Amino acid sequence: MRRSVAQLASLDLNLLLVLRELLRERNVTRAAERVGVTQPAASAALRRLRRHFGDELLVRSKSGYVLSPLAVQLERQVEEVCAAAEQLFATGAEFNPATSLREFTLLAADYTIAILGERLSKMIAVSAPRASLHIRLVRESLAVDMPHIVRFVDGIVAPPVIPRAHPHLRSADLFTDRWVCVVATGSPAAGTGKLDLADLARLSWVVPYHREQSGYPAVPPVPPVSRQLAQLGIRPRVAVRVESYQAVPHFIAGTDRIALMQERLVRQFADRLDLRVLECPGEPEPIVESLWWHEDCERDPAHAWFREAIIKLARDL
């Protein structure tokens, strides 16, 4: 224990911030600008970091710098450590949103950003004009990693998980939605105005975050759309896989493909992309999006303000 404390005391913790920006920017000059130091100072910090880790970290390529394999491993860790440090030193007995320089970190899918992003941005700009937002996109289900990740952020917007399995998590429901089928207006499926399960099995699909699994559909996949299709007994003939909810309607437009989408999201695209929204056959489960946070955050007045602001925004939907 004494040795680990001595090692920590001997470290220049300013290097953490430099490391984070170097890994984010993959460019020494831009990293220096973000940290607020000169380019030679950032270069010197990179040399120190290379000596410490025994690794190049940033490797030259034809198009600039790329991350070394070790740097890829460090990228997530340094984000979490810096977020935790910022949260620690921003914590105080009082919080004034009008003057705070706090950075709030929220994890959410691009679906959630489409529903709440504009409202959240305007709220921060008006109520906490000197504060900043760090929005990290959730790319797949967080059911496994959530208890770990939530300790280093102000909140995660995700569907409900089983609270008993994670006793230190707290949550509040934000909004509900429902699954609908989406096709191009000119497609044969749109002409009928009604779909059945046989149609879903026959058509080609656009599916976000889809992962084929052995035993499918006996072992339901985790990504929400794939899980819903499995519950309907559909093994989709996937024509397009995308790592984004907002990308889905663009790969439906002008084709005979079909997708299962959140109604609140697809209504933002339907008219512009000439899409038809149809009822989903069967009984897809309702969509519930919740805000999750770690119980330790409840002692932080800044987090409490941010949390309540998001809950109010969702309530006003």
Task: Single out the residue in 63, 87, 111 at which a domain terminates.
Answer: 87
Please count the structural domains in the chain: 3
7 pLDDT band, cuts 50/70/90, is: low
Higher pLDDT, 89 or 129: 129
Is residue 132 situated within a structural domain? yes
pLDDT tens for 76-103 read: 788 777 776 666 665 655 789 999 988 8
pLDDT of residue 131: 93
Is residue 290 situated within a structural domain? no
DSSP 249: G
Q: Which domain holds residue 260?
A: 179-285
Mean pLDDT of 169-192: 94
The answer to whether the pTM exceeds 0.75 is no
Q: Are residues 155 and 241 in the same domain?
A: no
Least confident residue range of 94-103, 177-186, 267-276 = 94-103
CA–CA separation, 296 and 197 (whole Å): 46
Mean pLDDT of 243-261: 97
Cis peptide before 217 (omega within 30 of 0): yes
Q: Are residues 183 and 280 in the same domain?
A: yes
Mean pLDDT of 51-56: 89
pLDDT tens for 287-296 read: 999 999 988 8
Q: Which two tokens stand for residue 278?
A: 């149809």
CA–CA separation, 73 and 77 (whole Å): 7
What share of the chain in percent tops pLDDT 70? Answer: 85
- Within 8 A by CB and 6+ apart from 302, the residues are 90, 91, 92, 95, 100, 102, 104
163 pLDDT band, cuts 50/70/90, is: low
